[in-house]
Structure 1
Amino acid sequence: MGLKDRFEIVLNSPVYYAGQSMTGKLIVELKKPKKIKGLYLKYFGKGYVHWNEGWGTTMVSHSNLEIYLMQYQLVCGNETDEYKLTEGRHVFEFNCQLPPDLPSSFEGHFGRISYSVKAIIDRPLKNDYVAKQSLTIVSIFDLNRCSLAAMPVEERSSKTFWGHSKPLNMSVNIPVRGFVPGQVIPMKVLLSNESEVLVKSLEATLKQVPALPPSFLQFCSIIDLRYQLNVKAKVSGCHRSLKLPIEVIIGNIPLMAYEMPISGNQTLCDVPGLSPPYNQLPNSQPPPYTVIFPPSVEYGDLPPPSYEESTRHGSLNREGSQEASNGNAEAREFSPLYPVYRFETARVQTVG
């Protein structure tokens, strides 16, 4: 478009929950009138996986694709006759009712679930104008409705070492299996060492980032997301460590009977690349997000979460990279935002 022209999608929120109405504005500013066939909006969401197996001439590529959202909306024009879009500023408000069965946005090494809004100006006998805005969709995973989430965890493991007849025993206890981002996972670890092999250290790791999509990625049939807590007793010498893997469940509505979040500075992080007004919020307050809770459960006392950007994993042939290589300047890499709660236990852990 011309140097003084503007063609931009501005969403009212960078985060929407499945089942909500996604709203925003399409802004078109023209320095002179333009003849068009139509101005369209395309709401699109898909899941894609890709990985390779083998090496060299034996390498086999695997991929799969699912479409979750594909809706078109004619903003102006009639698709057949030419329509004259006058000079000046045009603001078109839009609304898209999201289906309730959308999986959460996800970025991984071998797959992704992505959502976007694309605006297209269809020009007769000329290249189309295209604007694109990515966004995060969050699918509600209520831990109060997952029977496994509230169950306590007790796992045991043992190991014998070369030259030692007696074992090293380890047991791990966790009060519940289900947690939400921002919550501390308390563990009670008991070691019983009859092997006489020295235990040098004890460590526990959860291999993900603080802002997390929910376990299982419900409504997606090509990606299954699991979280594993690894507890390891590192021993001396050439012996291998004793390891105990424990699956935990990550949701985005916390277990009310276990621990309630606290209210506080629930701010939306400053995310580069998002359209205004997301990075220009007064008093650093987030927009009024409305979480859709299951209608049969009352969560009136649940403080709102903040929304934090996930750390990107180096990943497959990204749509953004592919589109940018094809000359689409609107394409860019996107990191989803996920709800993160504040807890008193987490605050205590960071003191001192």
Structure 2
Amino acid sequence: MGRILLYIDLFEKQAFCAGSTINGKVVLQLEKAKMVDKINVTFSGRAYIFVSEFEQELKKEKCSHIDSDQENLVDFTTTVWSGSNQQFLDAGRHTFPFSIEIPHSLPSSFLCENLKGCHIAYGLKATVVRPKKKDQSTEIPVSVSNIVDVGHSSFVNPQCVSSTKEKCSLFKCFSNNGHIAMAITTNHCGYCVGDSVIISADIENHTNSKVSSLQTTLMRNVMHKDHVHKKYCTILETAEDNKIWTKKMLQIPSTSPSITDCHLVKVTYELKVKLRMTNKSKLTVSLPITIGSAKEESSDDGYSEQCNLVTRYPSNDTLLSVSSTECLLD
């Protein structure tokens, strides 16, 4: 018997832009010479959802069964060493470099904190294939971020949405005469983590009640395609004021970018502004916004700047851990 140490060593951090290249090496440490057919490196990723009956009941979902689904996003294997000419590897340390290009079309990594069975995850796996022996492998997670450039002209323009309630129609919940109208304006349609959303509210109150407060909430919606539980909302940031708003600011907290290019899981954001009256009536408007992973920068190396911005976002400690496998072989 002899001890073998197998691990993957990446030349860079374990967070990558879609379309970039993963460069690394497989390291194999042998106590004794071993027969090896080949050594493979596999880059794979999948979107996965699993919602237990308990979670369905907790979320008040009308679904009585355990619901799960998955979608394979990528599965690419490359051989970094083949023993077709020399099956024996000598005792000692062996390194096998590899380079894998990440497809541009991959959605960003994602882990839903309040729904553990919902994620988009990627990983690298090194496998030692030996004749008449069980394969030995080790795997590490990697984080992939698709570029969502909110510096594009379609995201930098202001947006406005308005809502009006009349006493004789939808506004009949107000006992006072007249109507109330609210128009909400934001400075942009797209933001990055750390950016400030500048919000202004224009209110026309033709009732006998007074406006008691305005509240804005940034909502993240995780939608599962073709499932009953289509929407999970998380209050990420809330700001309140009892006055009419003019250029109030709400900062985008640390969160994943918008994901709209995955068939199974989609992540979108919206701002909800709720107006409360002294008679306890309410008026709510919603504005969809995009959370991006990069902004166009005036730099000599724009792509490098984008990658630096991307790595700030969908990162979890587990995605940046080092993994290795040590095992005994005959």
Give the TM-score of the pair, scaled to structure 2: 0.69
Q: Is the 8 A contact 2:110 2:314 kept in 1?
A: no
Q: Aligned to 1:152, which of 155, 158, 166? A: 158
Tell me: higher relative CO, structure 1 or 2? Use CA pairs within 8 A at least 6 residues apart: 2
One-letter amino acid matched to 2:110? F
Q: Once the 2 structures are TM-superposed, how far is the Cα of residue 46 of structure 1 from its aligned partner?
A: 1.8
The 1:99–1:291 alpha-carbon spacing in structure 2 relative to 1, beyond 3 Å, is farther
Q: Is the 8 A contact 1:156 1:172 kept in 2?
A: yes
Q: Aligned to 1:75, which of 80, 84, 101? A: 80
Rounded Cα–Cα distance in structure 1 between residues aligned with 2:20 and 2:182: 46
Listed as ranges, the matches of 1:22-37 within 5 Å are 22-37=22-37
Q: Is the 8 A contact 2:29 2:93 kept in 1?
A: yes
Q: Is the 8 A contact 1:173 1:187 kept in 2?
A: yes
Does residue 128 of the first structure (1) align with residue 171 of the second (2)?
no
- For the residue of structure 2 that corresponds to 1:305, the secondary structure is helix
Aligned residue for 1:199? 211
Q: Is the 8 A contact 1:17 1:291 kept in 2?
A: no
Aligned residue for 2:148? 141
Aligned residue for 2:199? 187
Q: Is the 8 A contact 1:43 1:116 kept in 2?
A: yes
Aligned residue for 2:258? 215
Q: Is the 8 A contact 1:155 1:172 kept in 2?
A: yes
Aligned residue for 1:102? 106
The 1:304–1:77 alpha-carbon spacing in structure 2 relative to 1, beyond 3 Å, is closer
Does residue 118 of the first structure (1) align with residue 160 of the second (2)?
no
Listed as ranges, the matches of 1:54-69 within 5 Å are 59-69=64-74
Q: Once the 2 structures are TM-superposed, how far is the Cα of residue 201 of structure 1 from its aligned partner?
A: 2.5
Aligned residue for 1:7? 6
Q: Once the 2 structures are TM-superposed, how far is the Cα of residue 117 of structure 1 from its aligned partner?
A: 0.5
Q: Aligned to 2:92, which of 78, 88, 92? A: 88
The 1:145–1:57 alpha-carbon spacing in structure 2 relative to 1, beyond 3 Å, is closer
Q: Is the 8 A contact 2:141 2:318 kept in 1?
A: no
Listed as ranges, the matches of 1:32-47 within 5 Å are 32-47=32-47
Aligned residue for 1:249? 290
One-letter amino acid matched to 2:73? Y
- For the residue of structure 1 that corresponds to 2:188, the secondary structure is coil
Give the TM-score of the pair, scaled to structure 1: 0.66
One-letter amino acid matched to 1:86? D
- For the residue of structure 2 that corresponds to 1:45, the secondary structure is strand
Q: Is the 8 A contact 2:14 2:143 kept in 1?
A: yes
- For the residue of structure 2 that corresponds to 1:103, the secondary structure is coil
Query: Identity percentage over the alignment?
Result: 23
Q: Once the 2 structures are TM-superposed, how far is the Cα of residue 76 of structure 1 from its aligned partner?
A: 2.2
Higher strand share: 2
Q: Is the 8 A contact 1:119 1:130 kept in 2?
A: yes
Q: Is the 8 A contact 1:180 1:251 kept in 2?
A: yes
The 1:137–1:245 alpha-carbon spacing in structure 2 relative to 1, beyond 3 Å, is same
Aligned residue for 2:243? none
One-letter amino acid matched to 1:95? S
Aligned residue for 2:246? none
Report the number of matched residues. Answer: 274
CA RMSD in angstroms comes to 3.6
One-letter amino acid matched to 1:36? V
Q: Is the 8 A contact 2:164 2:180 kept in 1?
A: yes
Does residue 232 of the first structure (1) align with residue 274 of the second (2)?
yes
Q: Is the 8 A contact 1:17 1:292 kept in 2?
A: no
Q: Is the 8 A contact 1:19 1:292 kept in 2?
A: no
The 1:335–1:200 alpha-carbon spacing in structure 2 relative to 1, beyond 3 Å, is farther
The 1:34–1:291 alpha-carbon spacing in structure 2 relative to 1, beyond 3 Å, is farther
Aligned residue for 1:170? 182
Q: Is the 8 A contact 1:104 1:217 kept in 2?
A: no
- For the residue of structure 2 that corresponds to 1:32, the secondary structure is coil
- For the residue of structure 1 that corresponds to 2:104, the secondary structure is coil
Rounded Cα–Cα distance in structure 1 between residues aligned with 2:207 and 2:275: 13
Q: Is the 8 A contact 1:105 1:112 kept in 2?
A: yes
Aligned residue for 1:308? 312
- Greater Cα radius of gyration, structure 1 or 2: 2
Q: Once the 2 structures are TM-superposed, how far is the Cα of residue 135 of structure 1 from its aligned partner?
A: 0.8
- For the residue of structure 1 that corresponds to 2:312, the secondary structure is strand
- For the residue of structure 2 that corresponds to 1:224, the secondary structure is strand
The 1:89–1:309 alpha-carbon spacing in structure 2 relative to 1, beyond 3 Å, is farther
The 1:291–1:49 alpha-carbon spacing in structure 2 relative to 1, beyond 3 Å, is farther
Structure 1, unmatched stretches of 5+, are 264-289, 294-298, 313-331, 337-352
Rounded Cα–Cα distance in structure 1 between residues aligned with 2:145 and 2:62: 41
- For the residue of structure 1 that corresponds to 2:203, the secondary structure is strand
